[in-house]
Amino acid sequence: MILWTIQTEEAWEQLNKKGCITGVMDYIEPSWLSSYHWMMQQMKDRIGSPPCKHLFPVWAWYQWDSSNRKKPDLRSAGHLPKNVKGVRIEFSCDKNAGLLSDFTLWHYVLNYWYLPESMADDEKFDAEIKKQGTTYFEAKPHPTPKIHQKIVRSWNKIFDLDWDKTDISVPKYQKSIQATIWQLRMEQVRSCKHFKAR
């Protein structure tokens, strides 16, 4: 499959020099670290263990905006901090070496939200939480193991790219689909486009 990753020019230089780049913990928002660890465990379970211990994922796009706009548009803001020089790297990846997930639904994981089956399921879960006098996104992890497990299990839906529910998820052709890989090797690179972030 063809993927695109947005990286800094420094990462591009490292890829050229060392022949490989991996994810770096230093760039992760501290409040998201547990979400990244969850994704890393999913990667181990679904595509296999990293080539060496303590690797963080390299993030890429399979489908940036929709099936009609798969490649990230460098005219858009938000790829990197404003005015930072970066690169959009197009590369090939074996289907078994990359884990695809719904980018919008990934925010349920980042924010420790319950990902409901339906709006009715969402209301039922909220009512269950209110009975306990707690909120599931303020206590991380939730102090009740049963509720914590229910929240975490709900996140598995981010990997079902055919799953769409009104008011929760959209059809696959409309999704932004991200990919996580353990490492990017120079021999995978097909092209590179330099840009300055807007």
Residue 124, pLDDT > 80, answer yes
CA dist 108 and 35 (Å) reads 10
Provide mean pLDDT across the span 160-168.
Answer: 95
Burial of 75 (0-12, 13-18, 19+ CB in 10 A): exposed
45-77 pLDDT, tens digit per residue, is 999 999 988 889 999 999 999 999 999 999 999
Residue 186, pLDDT > 80, answer yes
* Assigned CATH topology for domain 2-103+171-196: ADP-ribosylation fold (3.20.170)
Residue 189, pLDDT > 80, answer yes
- Local confidence band at 141 (pLDDT 50, 70, 90 cut-offs): confident
> What is the pLDDT at residue 187?
98
First to last CA, the chain: 28
> What is the pLDDT at residue 56?
94
> What is the pLDDT at residue 85?
96
CA dist 56 and 183 (Å) reads 9
What value does the mean pLDDT of the chain take? 94
Residues facing residue 58 across a β-bridge: 181
Domain residues of the chain, as ranges? 2-103+171-196, 113-159
Burial of 18 (0-12, 13-18, 19+ CB in 10 A): exposed
8-38 pLDDT, tens digit per residue, is 999 999 999 999 999 988 888 898 999 999 9
> What is the pLDDT at residue 136?
64
111-123 pLDDT, tens digit per residue, is 999 999 999 999 9
